[in-house]
């Protein structure tokens, strides 16, 4: 099975640099889900065929709210989904529940992160489109969830009914293969691609 690939640009790149890296990613695989800052959704959605996701949205309705990101705004800009509850942008459960419901209403897809199995079990009940589990202590490092926490991936496989992705520290092709072998349907990358000298070559090495 072809893994679902998610790449999170975080705030490593923005503006022109984010567009450049998005174009390189698109050359490798157009099916990739790319998480970008809200301010970059419009340009990247216009210039690539990637599945562009915002890295966060809020549940507010249009109106008297300053500084929030509305799901409608992301959709109008050409985004097809949003990340929610990343370990670097945690939401409390009630807020997460409202935000997923808001996104469902306007048909904006949700990819929701969980730090561990317990949180994943709770989030599963909210029926997001995708669920990704990332142990926060491994995020941004060179030790991957696949090699450091294989038992976590297999226990998620046993206990979680929906398809799931895993991420954190994934930096080799073997990490990707192992995650899939243990039961994940896909993987999430960030630093391995965003910090690579040649992101296109690195991505090819990882997934092709």
- In the structure encoding, which two tokens stand for residue 22, read together? 């998005």
* Active-site pick, 43, 56, 86, 171: 86
Segment near ligand G3P (CB under 6 A), from 46-54, 73-81, 115-123, 185-193?
185-193
Nearer to ligand G3P among residue 71 and residue 169 (C-beta): 169
Cα–Cα distance measured from residue 174 to residue 180, given in angstroms and rounded to the nearest whole number = 10
Q: CB-wise, 72 or 204, nearer to ligand G3P? A: 204
Residue 161 · residue 124 · CB < 8 Å: yes
Beta carbons within 10 angstroms of residue 182's beta carbon:
19
Residues 3-22 as x/- pattern, contact with ligand G3P by CB under 6 A? -----x--------------
89: which residues sit within 8 A by CB, 6+ positions away? Answer: 55, 56, 83
Torsion angles phi and psi, residue 196, rounded to 5: -75, 145
Which listed residue (37, 48, 85, 191) binds ligand G3P by CB under 6 A?
191
Q: How many residues bind ligand G3P (CB under 6 A)?
A: 14
Strand duo 81-84 + 165-167: pairing: unpaired
Interface of this chain with ligand G3P, residues 116 to 155, rule: CB under 6 A: 134, 139-140
**Span near ligand G3P by CB under 6 A; candidates 39-47, 153-161, 166-174, 177-185:** 166-174
What is the radius of gyration, based on Cα positions, of the chain?
16
- Residues with a catalytic annotation lie at 86, 134
Residues that bind ligand G3P (CB under 6 A): 8, 86, 134, 139-140, 167-170, 188-192
């Amino acid at each position: 099975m072809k893994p679902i690939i998610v790449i999170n640009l975080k705030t490593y790149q923005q503006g022109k640099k984010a567009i450049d890296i998005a174009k390189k990613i698109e050359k490798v695989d157009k099916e990739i889900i790319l998480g970008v800052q809200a301010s970059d959704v419009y340009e990247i959605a216009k210039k690539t065929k990637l599945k562009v996701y915002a890295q966060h949205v809020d549940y507010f309705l249009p109106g008297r709210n300053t500084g929030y990101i509305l799901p409608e705004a992301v959709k109008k800009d050409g985004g097809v989904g949003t990340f929610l509850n990343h370990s670097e942008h945690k939401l409390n459960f009630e807020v997460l529940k409202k935000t997923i419901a808001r996104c469902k209403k306007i048909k904006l897809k949700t990819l929701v992160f969980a730090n561990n199995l317990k949180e994943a079990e709770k989030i599963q009940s909210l029926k997001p489109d995708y669920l990704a589990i990332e142990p926060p202590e491994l995020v941004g490092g060179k030790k991957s969830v696949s090699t450091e926490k294989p038992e976590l991936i297999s226990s998620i496989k046993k206990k979680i009914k929906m398809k799931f992705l895993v991420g954190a520290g994934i930096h080799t092709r073997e990490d990707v293969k192992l995650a899939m072998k243990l039961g994940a349907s896909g993987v999430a990358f960030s630093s391995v691609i965003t910090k690579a000298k040649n992101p296109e070559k690195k991505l090819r090495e990882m997934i092709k």
